[in-house]
Structure 1
Amino acid sequence: MAETMARADLPRLPTALPTLLVSASARTRSEPAQLEAKDVKVQETGPPQGPLQGEQPSETLGLTKERAITLQLELMAAYGTPAFQKQLHEIGRRYGTSSKLRSELCKLVRRIQLDIIPRYGFDGSEEGVHSMLRSFKALEKDPDIEVNDVAIKELLSLEVPPMEMNEKNKLIARPVTKHRIMDLLRVQLIEFSKATFQADVEELKKCADYNSGRVFNPSRPMEQGFEDPDGYYHLEGRAELALLVQTRLLPQYGFAPSKAGVQDMIRHCAPFVRDPDVANLLDRVNEKLGMSPAACHRFRELVAQLS
């Protein structure tokens, strides 16, 4: 989000995802509808690995705190994707307060759970989900597990205050929590990290070095000492390059696919940038946009003043 953000033209901010969902609440604006623990269950994870060869998944399989948190994080990553959130809110709009709302939400969440929990030794079935929940019981009072549980509930919530219309007249919820802001940033980080995008950023930096007269040896254009002393806080062409990605991503979070939408997104994220997790993620995004660590810090301080 370097130059893009330095001039309020900033690239979109990508998320750290929470962890486990022992019970998830899904609420519509007109009537609360909760997913019971028996309906939606999540398991903790460690390094993805299934049961040993020849070994049947055990209902009494114990989860260490580390594996439980890993599982939660994997579930949160899946629940936080734009595709899942789009399906979630489509269900909320389609079924509203009808009796079918809960069953459709459970089906959506269960598909994710049954795909993930076998990597942690649980059977990919309803019984496997119940077994995973029982394993989490011993850890339910752990503060880290509890925090992740709350985060998962937020990701599965249909009650999101500010709602706006996009071009296709579909309601898109803007991020209103730390975890959704991090999701917004993380999605951008993933796109900006791609090799083709990074190659374009390096070309912009190389052009800036040549145009400024800092590079005198064409055979060593990236030689140390010839880089921008301001850490590429300003980089010609960066805002336009980032916007090519942001026009695809911003509408998924309720922002217009334009420079004005980028500026709006930056202002929307400003209240969260003092949080260490958000700050770290924002800096990583700006590094992918070519900024030095010092320039990232400078940009972050500027954004913080917008709140």
Structure 2
Amino acid sequence: MLSCTERLKLQRSEEIVAMTETMARADLPRPPALPTLLAARTRPEPSPKSPKEKAAELEAIQEAQGRQPETRLTKERAITLQLELMAAYGTPAFQKELHEIGRRYGTSSKLRSELCKLVRRIQLDIIPRYGFDGSEEGVHSMLRSFKALEKDPDIEVNDVAIKELLSLEVPPMEMNEKNKLIARPVTKHRIMDLLRVQLIEFSKATFQADVEELKKCADYNSGRVFNPSRPMEQGFEDPDGYYHLEGRAELALLVQTRLLPQYGFAPSKAGVQDMIRHCAPFVRDPDVANLLDRVNEKLGMSPAACHRFRELVAQLS
């Protein structure tokens, strides 16, 4: 006969056996094998998304949120926008307001905010024509679009020109009180201004069409093409990059006769030569060099011809 203690032990053993059998019948899931765990832990990270994929994802998010995808500028549209801004910033009325703000606020804390208001007024008037909203957010969207193009040399040169136009650096006295003649440019600031106004004028569609006509005629007269109305057939460009282009000086002079007197130069071929001599000391400066090349590109020169011309000008200093 079992004692009380022995009966309790036996009962406990039977309960444990019964519990074990119940768990076995329940077919509970087993923990994963070690290799499976290792495989899960060593699974490769997803490859990073390309900028194009990120942009597409951003557009999808914006559309899902009911927002319009950001406008993107092509290089051509970006340059056109820059030129339009440059033309607006270069007007006498804008420059007068700009320098009045500079004189009024000097180094005070209000200078930056007043300049921003002035510039925004121009930007908000122009950027809607390029697909941007006429608001502060539209301006930021425009700036983000230019960020993607900032390494382009043409965009970069225009950016330098715009910064020069918005500069509050005081130019040298333009009027000589003794003889009432406008002083010729003797600083980088004024040389950049002189080149910039020419770039704006030479970039106009009508002027560019005239330059293309001169190049077609040159190609035809040299025998590089047989039909001047179809210049891309059986032809090739001038091996000198149109360094010498008949009629170019006369075409440019039509514009320069209006601009040169504003900088103290005679409205003539002699005035153009004088202008070039005044540019010579500055052509080694990267900003001036880039702007001078842009001007000459608008006059039909190839990049190699622009470099050749710039090296020639540098020898005059």
> TM-score when scaled to structure 2?
0.49
Equivalence for 2:217 = 207
**Cα distance change, pair 190–116 in 1 and its aligned pair in 2 (3 A):** closer
Deviation of 1:74 (Å): 12
Deviation of 1:297 (Å): 0.5
**Cα distance change, pair 234–110 in 1 and its aligned pair in 2 (3 A):** closer
Deviation of 1:173 (Å): 3.2
* Cα contact 2:101–2:111 (8 A) shared by 1: yes
* Cα contact 1:192–1:285 (8 A) shared by 2: yes
Equivalence for 1:33 = 47
Task: Render the CA deviation track for 1:205-257: whole Å, top value 9, x for unaligned.
Answer: 11111111111245531348522110100011100000000000111111111
Equivalence for 1:165 = 175
Percent sequence identity over matched residues?
Answer: 94
State which drifts further: 166-175 or 259-268: 166-175
* Cα contact 1:11–1:243 (8 A) shared by 2: no
* Cα contact 1:88–1:158 (8 A) shared by 2: yes
* Cα contact 1:19–1:69 (8 A) shared by 2: no
Quote the Cα distance in structure 2 between the aligned partners of 1:218 and 1:200: 14
> TM-score when scaled to structure 1?
0.50
Equivalence for 2:78 = 68
Quote the Cα distance in structure 1 between the aligned partners of 2:141 and 2:278: 41
Quote the Cα distance in structure 2 between the aligned partners of 1:117 and 1:254: 35
- Unpaired runs of 5+ in structure 2? 1-18
* Cα contact 1:204–1:238 (8 A) shared by 2: yes
RCO higher in structure (CA 8 A, sep ≥6)? 1
Quote the Cα distance in structure 1 between the aligned partners of 2:288 and 2:26: 17
Which of 302, 307, 316 aligns to 1:292? It is 302
**Cα distance change, pair 154–46 in 1 and its aligned pair in 2 (3 A):** farther
**Cα distance change, pair 168–230 in 1 and its aligned pair in 2 (3 A):** farther
* Cα contact 1:188–1:246 (8 A) shared by 2: yes
Secondary structure of 2:35's match? coil
Equivalence for 1:219 = 229
Q: Let me know the Cα RMSD of the aligned residues.
A: 24.7
* Cα contact 1:5–1:266 (8 A) shared by 2: no
Secondary structure of 2:61's match? coil
Task: Render the CA deviation track for 1:27-69: whole Å, top value 9, x for unaligned.
Answer: 9999999999999x999999999xxx99999xxxxx9999999
**Cα distance change, pair 92–212 in 1 and its aligned pair in 2 (3 A):** same
Q: Which has the higher helix share?
A: 2
Which of 90, 103, 106 aligns to 1:96? It is 106
**Cα distance change, pair 279–153 in 1 and its aligned pair in 2 (3 A):** closer
* Cα contact 2:258–2:267 (8 A) shared by 1: yes
**Cα distance change, pair 140–192 in 1 and its aligned pair in 2 (3 A):** closer
* Cα contact 2:280–2:314 (8 A) shared by 1: yes
* Cα contact 2:89–2:165 (8 A) shared by 1: yes
